[in-house]
Amino acid sequence: MADAPLDYVSDHLDAFDADLSDFLRIPSISADPAYAADVRRAADWLADHLSQIGFPTVEVRETGGHPVVFAEDRSAGADKPTVLVYGHYDVQPPDPLDLWTSPPFEPVVRDGQLYARGSADDKGQVMMHVKAAEAFYKTGTPLPVNLKLIIEGEEEVGSHHLAPYVDAHQGELACDVIVISDTAMFDQGIPSITVGLRGLAYVQVNLTGPDRDLHSGVYGGGVENPANALAKLIADLHDADHRVTVEGFYDGVVPLKADERAAWAELPFDEAKWLGEIGLTVGKTEKGYTILEATTARPTLDVNGMGSGYQGEGSKTVLPSKAFAKISCRLVPGQDPKDIAQKLRRHFETHLPDTMTMDFVELHGGQPVLMDTDQPAMTAAMDALRETYGRDAYFMREGGSIPVVADLKRILGVDALLLGFGLTADAIHSPDEHFGLDRYHEGIATVVRFWGNYGA
Ligand code: BES
Ligand code: ZN
């Protein structure tokens, strides 16, 4: 039934690549207020593009933060299911720029990979759904499902305005399934559906000792150094088994089931290859867990950034007044971001030396999620992946977070389907982010097939 759209896809791959490159040229960096106009430009570009390809309803909507792009087509009719596509058009800051082989907002293809910030996370994956719709419109093929798109501009900064927006637009966003392509597949040529994402609790600890930076010879030995104190506090956050020492951190964590662990052990996950891709030969996991388990299904605590004292060239004999650390915890089912942030606060308050003061800031959080593997959309997606790749897809969990998924599921009362085509090696959030054009094209064809299967 979807022959004409699939033929259209194979005949228009070069044009699809060019359109994605246009989208990628817009530096929609949500974290940096200096780029706010570019973030809006990306929303406008996407809305124009959706109108051009044939979406009957397209709007750029205000949220109080960066806008969302909303589009819908209900022409399939009330007897057909409705798919809500969620994605994001904002990107992470590209720094450090000198580590990019080519500039982050000048997309280029090398070895079949499209290099640009946002190529895999998430503009390339959003465009798979856009191009699938184009294939139906341009061939005059009726859409097999009703479609709604909500593409936001704040995912990379915590999606603060999206849950209230979805809450206020529940009726308009009503659907049978939420489909998201903002995750990875198991490996090149090995399809998978992501059935779990970790949550997040992100905090910042600011320590202040003396009221100004001091001469380390004149004062050293007489006062406690905030950098030394913070280093000790951080070092004590893990024990010898690499378990987090914060009191109550593991309370309620749902233990991994023996059959889940057995199924994951069967996956063709190569620890040496995974380590090699990031320049390592040895990993570090919580005792008793494999790298795959520890990175997808166990909670973690990591310093994401820290600073104190002299950072310039050469040496400066200074005893710093302040030290800070940004700390994120990835959370699993049974943990709650607010509760974990409170436990971290209590931990730091308890262990803070009486020689300094602390300002503890809760930056953002998101709930962990698990998806139901029995829903009809899963079956339709498994079939579509089999048609594209000629093999069965795996169910897997992933370690990243998409904070709004739990809110979308809760507010709209339906499950989510995470149909991702990234790879761990795509360097998302890193220099030289890239997306394989083969995966972009396979993703478009898979979405076409998924809609056909789900609407049949
Ligand atoms: N696409 C990622 C989430 C992701 C990455 C899922 C890898 C699965 C595997 C998303 O854009 C992202 O980076 N999310 C942030 C959320 C944070 C900024 C609140 C994350 O996970 O750090
Ligand atoms: Zn991201």
Where residue 353 sits, what CATH number does that domain have?
3.30.70.360
Q: Three-class SS of residue 22? A: helix
pLDDT at 2: 58
Q: Residues 262-288: pLDDT tens digits? A: 999 999 999 999 999 999 999 999 999
Q: Residues 166-200: pLDDT tens digits? A: 999 999 999 999 999 999 999 999 999 999 999 99
Residues 191, 224 within the same domain: no
Question: What residues are in contact with ligand 1 under a 6 Å CB criterion?
Answer: 121-122, 155-156, 158, 182-184, 197, 200, 364, 366, 398, 400-403
Q: Of 363, 394, 411, which residue sits at a domain end?
A: 363
**56 vs 74: CA distance, rounded Å:** 9
Q: Of 363, 395, 415, which residue sits at a domain end?
A: 363
Q: Report, as ranges of residue numbers, the positions in the chain whose pLDDT lies below 70.
A: 1-2
Residues 304, 221 within the same domain: yes
pLDDT at 214: 98
Nearest CA to 131 out of 229, 237, 5, 244 is that of: 5
Residues 357, 410 within the same domain: no
pLDDT at 1: 52
Q: How many domains does the chain have?
A: 3
What is the 3-state secondary structure of 323-392?
Answer: EEEEEEEEECCCCCHHHHHHHHHHHHHHHCCCCCEEEEEEEEEECCEECCCCCHHHHHHHHHHHHHHCCC
- Full-model pTM: 0.93
Distance (Å) from CA 305 to ligand 1 centroid: 17
Residues 379, 267 within the same domain: no
pLDDT at 71: 98
Residues 260, 249 within the same domain: no
Residues 212, 102 within the same domain: no
Distance (Å) from CA 121 to ligand 2 centroid: 5
Q: Residues 129-163: pLDDT tens digits? A: 999 999 999 999 999 999 999 999 999 998 999 99
Residues 149, 38 within the same domain: yes
Distance (Å) from CA 121 to ligand 1 centroid: 8
Residue 106: give the domain boundaries: 4-197+368-455
Both structure tokens of 173: 């966003």
CATH of the domain at 375: 3.40.630.10
Distance (Å) from CA 92 to ligand 2 centroid: 6
Residues 274, 138 within the same domain: no
Q: Of 267, 294, 321, which residue sits at a domain end?
A: 294
Residues 279, 217 within the same domain: no
State the ligand closest to the CA atom of 369. Answer: 1
Q: Which amino acid is at 59?
A: E
**32 vs 100: CA distance, rounded Å:** 19
pLDDT at 261: 96
**DSSP-assigned letters across all residues of 270-305:** -HHHHHHTTT-S----STT--HHHHHHTS-EEEEEE
Query: For 159, phi and psi rounded to 5 degrees?
Result: 55, 40
Both structure tokens of 54: 């044939």
pLDDT at 219: 98
Residues 309, 443 within the same domain: no
Residues 106, 140 within the same domain: yes
* From 328, 364, 402, mutation site for ligand 1 pocket: most ligand atoms within 8 A of C-beta: 402
Which residues, 6 or more positions from 242, have their beta carbon under 8 angstroms from its beta carbon? 284, 285, 286, 287
Residues 338, 374 within the same domain: no
pLDDT at 423: 96
